[in-house]
Structure 1
Amino acid sequence: MSEFEAERGNPTEPEHVHWAGMMPAIPQPGAGAAAESVGEIEAQGEALDGGGAEGKEQATGDVSKEAPTTSVETGGHAEEHTTRLTEGHGSCSGPTGMEEGGEAQNHHHSHGCSHEGHDHDHEMVESHVGTLELVRPGDVVELVEGMQDLYIMGTVDGFQKVTKMDGLQDMSSLTEMTLQSCLIAKMEGLEGLTSLTRLTLYDNQILSLNIPPSLSGLTYLDMSYNLVKSTAPIAGCPLLDEAFVAQNRVRAIEGFEGLTRLRKLDLGANRIRAITGLEACTLLEELWLGKNKITQIGGISTLVRLKRLDVQSNRLTAIEGLEGLTELRELYLSHNVIDNAHGLESQVNLDTLDLSRNKIDSFDGLQHLGQLTDLWMSGNLISTFESLDALKPLGSLTCLYLEHNPLYTDFEYRKRLAVVLPTLTQIDATAVAR
């Protein structure tokens, strides 16, 4: 079992988990089947607005807590971050492709909040933020001198949701703070948190990143599910190892030029149109950009340590810009308008490839992927069984998804696939009986 399979668990069937990509079910607004052309995608406008990680893990880690620790979990609609990739390449678990009539899926860490209705809640709070009852962290839990961890999660009905980060000036011992699913509109009152290394403000109403010098030691930052429009202030956290700014209103990748230690970055479910500004992040291993408005893969040639790349649910027309990324293990490009599988010449170590819901009509370009175990190509234009001959050199291939292609209608579809490709142990969501 590989390190990635161990991380993701061993699911036996695709759960069609919606986007980071790696989260409990999070419906995505209408990617649907791939559009007929880029122009058609553009016409969809805001249907693709807002950014995925389709799949989507955040390693929360175990931190020694010798000092007092306070953790309040009050339930609520946003669950604690957990690592949850929806597919295991060793187990031949399924892709996060679309169920028939379904929506775009994701491949990264789970956040546990539905996109549907979520933005509505944010906008409603935005317009009434001035009328909210003042609730400070100290009103929800007792702030004990010397404590290292503070964890507060709001409830669905709004009970004990923190509305203002106030009263923290004497909490310099804090190393980790989570204020999740609250109603915080501003990053303020953080100047005294000089020991903080992990900050989670997931699922709030924060409009902008306001990062004081006291937070320059952060190694982990989660601002997902907020209303942030610019990532430029993240430059004030040069020690960041993991950064998550999924499901916000970000239009450009900014502020990462000095983040040379960054290993994981999630900017899924935003409004980004181009991959830029990451050239200095040469230690990056995971990059999640699903559900944006990206038309071309580029600007990542220096990311030679990249192992996972997600650009699903965008506006790509070709596989390109991956030259030199020889360590890439997992590539998620579903729900685009790609018409051929060429452009993977450098990806000799790829074991998981998701090209579901594109416009591909053959397997040409995949013959050299000798390490590939999982190939997901549901919802394309594959029409003949003869085209499967191109996959015969792939001796490691054990899991193949081809449902909702023209050849899928053949009465002996499964039987014929199993004969042509004897290494398969799973076809679509079902194990192969031999």
Structure 2
Amino acid sequence: MAEEKPRAQIEIINNNEMVPSDPINMAVLQSPPTSTPGSPTQGMSEPTNHNTTGEQYEIEGLGPDSLEVMASHARLVEIGDMFQGMTKVEALCLRQNYIQRIEGFEDCGEVTDLDLYDNRLTKMEGLAAMTKLTVLDLSFNGIRKIENLESLVNLEKLFLISNKITTIENLSTLTKLKYLELGSNRIRKIENLDSLQNLEQLFVGRNKITHIEGISCLPKLRVLSIQSNRIVDLEGLEDNVDLEELYMSHNGLYELKGLDSLTNLTTLDVAANRIARLSNIKHLTKLEEFWFNGNQLEEWKDVELLPYESKTLQTVYMEGNPISKDVNYRRKLMLTVPSLRQIDATLCA
């Protein structure tokens, strides 16, 4: 049975009314010829349907009154003058196409949300006119450098997941930025974030970072994720006293040190490290979730060092540690931490 290919998803909203989907009034897709047996695309199974013919769907129904355009899996190769004269459009979703260049947005100064996730972009460009952007998603492309964002002074969320970025740079004008996602790149150092005084959430998982640094300048940081990097200690967090969620799984941690000032933590994830002793966490009296699975804890007496007296701790993950082989593992945890509602993936009875 042939595998079902992703279907094009096209929606156009004009003056808050979506174009009807009947054959007469809908935004029509003119499909290019389908692949024939033996062609380069025949039988391929990929996240996006690579357009080897260079042809693309034609999107009809666009006009000066269009407010939102969603064109996913539409085989778009270039933007060209598609959005010329569309001065009222506020949201553009062009994800999972084959677009190679950001262009043609000169008239789109009212756009607040631009989604170019999973295309073939290699450069950040063509965004100067979009000064009202609050959300920009350029994830899953081939971008090598953060650049040409100077005019996006209203940006609040920036997604650059799974590109080829090596350096955090050129963000100084994004003073309203609250959410920055740089996971799955080639970054070796956290740096150049000084101007992001309103940043609340920072994600740099799956990079090549060896030290926690460059974040003491972020007074409003609440969520920090540095999963799957090369970090061996937790030094460098002492100034981030408002931190509520810290994700440090899949690193090379040997011990829990450097958490003294993080008394507002509600979630701590240090799973899949090399930690053999529980220490320096009893003062975390607001902790609700503690992820410690896949470590090397052997001593039951260390479990008593969990901040159980505050009665806020509700979820712990301890599977994959030597203590989890104890037949009374769950019972002992529940007796030690009576507030628990979930142990590993199972709710407490």
Same fold by TM-score greater than 0.5? yes
Asked if 1:399 is matched to 2:315, the reply is yes
Distance 1:274 1:69 in 2: 45
Contact 2:65 2:89 in 1 (8 A): yes
* Paired AA for residue 312 in structure 2: S
Say which structure is richer in strand: 2
Q: How many residues align?
A: 314
* 2:301 corresponding residue in structure 1: 386
Write the distance in 2 (CA, Å) between the matches of 1:408 and 1:318: 25
Identity across the alignment (%) = 33
Backbone CA RMSD of aligned residues:
2.3
Change (3 A) 1:271 1:72: farther
Partner of 1:20: none
User: Do 2:127 and 2:148's aligned partners in 1 also have CA atoms closer than 8 Å?
Assistant: no
> What stretches of structure 2 of length at least 5 have no aligned partner?
1-12, 20-25, 30-44
CA contact (8 A) 1:368 1:393 kept: no
Matching of residue 140 in structure 1 with residue 54 in structure 2 = no
The answer as to 2:344 corresponding to 1:422 is no
Gaps of 5+ in 1: 1-63, 75-115, 155-159
One-letter amino acid of the structure 2 residue matched with residue 401 of structure 1: Y
Which amino acid is 1:413 matched to? Y
**How far apart, CA to CA, are the structure 1 residues paired with 2:84 and 2:101?**
16
Q: 1: distance between equivalents of 2:193 and 2:297?
A: 36
Match of 1:9 in 2: none
Q: Contact 2:185–2:207 (CA<8 Å) still a contact in 1?
A: yes
Q: Tell me by how many angstroms 1:198 deviates.
A: 1.4
> What corresponds to 1:413 in structure 2?
329
| Secondary structure in structure 2 of the residue aligned to 1:419 | helix
Q: Does 1:162 align with 2:76?
A: yes
Q: Which residue of 2 is the match for residue 353 of structure 1?
A: 268
Within 1, Cα distance between the matches of 2:121 and 2:207?
20
- The alignment partner of 1:400 has SS state of strand
Distance in 2, matches of 1:282 and 1:72, equals 43
Structure 1 stretch displaced more, 304-313 or 186-195: 186-195
Tell me the equivalent position of 1:51: none
**Structure 1: how far apart are the matches of 2:233 and 2:310?**
22
Deviation at 1:194, TM superposition (A): 2.1
Summarize deviations over 1:260-299 as a string: whole Å, max 9, x none. 1000111111111110111110101111111111111110
1:228 lines up with 2:143 in the alignment: yes
In 1, are the aligned partners of 2:131 and 2:151 still within 8 Å (CA)? yes
Q: AA paired with 1:141?
A: E
Q: TM-score, normalised by structure 1?
A: 0.68
Matched ranges for 1:45-124 at <5 A: 66=15, 69=18
Equivalents in 1 of 2:221, 2:121: separation in Å? 30
The code of the aligned residue for 1:361 comes to: A
Q: Deviations along 1:377-400, whole A, 9 cap, x unmatched?
A: 000010011111211445311111
- Rg larger for: 2
State which drifts further: 206-215 or 359-368: 206-215
1:237 to 152, 175, 182: 152
Q: Whose helix fraction is larger, Structure 1's or Structure 2's?
A: 1
Structure 2 match to 1:216: 131
- The answer to whether the Cα contact below 8 Å between 1:196 and 1:217 also exists between their aligned partners in 2 is yes
Structure 2 equivalent of residue 274 of structure 1: 189
Instruction: Return the alpha-carbon distance in structure 2 between the equivalents of residues 72 and 246 of structure 1.
Output: 31
Query: What is the rounded CA distance, in whole Å, between the counterparts of 1:204 and 1:408 in structure 2?
Result: 44
Q: What residue identity is the alignment partner of 1:417? A: L
Report the equivalent of 2:10. none
CA distance in 2, matches of 1:312, 1:341: 15
Q: Distance in 2 between matches of 1:277 and 1:258?
A: 12
Between 311-320 and 211-220, report the one with greater CA deviation: 211-220
The answer (yes or no) to whether the contact 1:334–1:355 under 8 Å persists in 2 is: yes
**1:175 CA drift (Å):** 1.5
Q: What is the SS of the residue equivalent to 1:375? A: strand
C-alpha displacement at 1:196, in angstroms? 1.7
Native 8 Å contact 1:73 1:153 kept in 2? no
For residues 190 and 274 of structure 1, do their structure 2 counterparts lie closer, same or farther at Cα, with a shift above 3 Å needed? same
**Secondary structure of 1:387's partner?**
helix
Cα distance, 1:424 vs. partner?
1.5
Deviations 1:27-46 (A, max 9, x none): xxxxxxxxxxxxxxxxxxxx
**Hey, what's the Cα distance between the residues in 1 that align with 2:250 and 2:221?**
22
Please name the residue that 1:261 is paired with.
176
Greater relative contact order: 1 or 2 (C-alpha under 8 angstroms, separation 6 or more)? 1
Q: Quote the offset at 1:427 in angstroms.
A: 1.1
Deviation, structure 1 residue 140: 2.2
Secondary structure of 1:234's partner? Answer: coil
Q: Please show how residues 328-343 of structure 1 align to structure 2 within 5 Å.
A: 328-343=243-258
TM-score by length of 2: 0.84
Q: Does the 8 Å CA contact 1:278/1:300 hold for their aligned counterparts?
A: yes
Amino acid at match of 2:336: V
How far 1:178 sits from its partner (Å)?
A: 0.9
- Residues 28 and 60, structure 2, Cα contact 8 Å, conserved in 1: no
Relative distance call for 1:211 and 1:151 in structure 2 (3 A) is: same
